[in-house]
Structure 1
Amino acid sequence: YDRISIHGVRRVLLEQQATTLHFPLEEMFIRKGASNAEYESELLKVLRRYRDNSVCSVVFGDIFLADVRKYRERLLAEIGMRGLFPLWGKNTRLLASRFIELGFKAVVTSVDSTLLAKDFVGREFDEEFLSRLPANVDPCGENGEFHSFVYDGPIFNEKIAFKKGEIVLRDNRFYYCDLLPKSASA
């Protein structure tokens, strides 16, 4: 499969993203259908390595889901680490607009079809996209309404080249837009 869970983005694009940002990439592999206990076990293995190298905090982009924050904090506390949440409590409409104003470029890679129509997947994450969102959909997709892939912006050393591929429905609920690296032929 070689894709990122939930987002559906090909691994090679994630690798390109890390390379152009000059960020180290540590991948964690979870088998398809893994239980939450298996996920937590693998995650804690990775986090212990960081802790053992004097990393004491993990930064998360969570904005307002208190149960998610508590879950993360509980896991980290098990191994003596703590979570940092710099976006916590911020206005998501303002955050989304600021992201765009700063010059970041993203494409919507998956949508929950119970909340958004198929035509939202594969679209640019821009002001037009935000203006078309139904009132019950968070502008940052904080409730899992949609996910995206950031491919350019002021901190990128170069734009990640891709083309949009097939749109598919999976699990009878989520639409995914395949992003093909420009060098890919399929």
Structure 2
Amino acid sequence: MAYELPKLPYAYDALEPHIDARTMEIHHTKHHQAYIDNVNKAIKGKADLEKKSVEDLISDLKSVPEDIRTVVRNNGGGHANHSFFWKMMGPNAGGRFGSGWAWLIKNKSGKLEIISTPNQDSPLMDGNTPILGVDVWEHAYYLKYQNRRPDYLKAWWNVVNWDAVAKNY
């Protein structure tokens, strides 16, 4: 089975003004399609690999011949990641209005969850364990980023102390 470009669950312009239609169209039809074309080319004629879903294929890279493993890893991974990525966005998907916190937590049953809390509410208040948290109150970013919270969040990933995060888990 040859992999195919999945249809988006929304129009290219549906994420405006946050992500423009031209970027969406090129990202989807050129970049994502290139991953698909390359992984299809790599596994062509290898029936045992062609019959697998891309998720099964990249979950078992040891079964992929070494001479194509890197191509499958990069391009199969690119196809799987992008197929997942498109579903994680949507028009009017919304976010929390106003201020608060975003968290990666371990819930009471031990499973990881991403949550947001308003104001100064803490995951501890509901019996959860905070693993990673980011302050999205304006005071955390306003002097440098003014009203550009997405820019602050993008920059914030560069200063996450992953050793501390690992200890929290």
Bigger relative contact order, structure 1 or 2 (CA pairs below 8 A, ≥6 apart): 1
Structure whose alpha-carbon radius of gyration is higher = 2
TM-score by length of 1: 0.28
More strand by percentage: 1
More helix by percentage: 2
TM-score by length of 2: 0.30
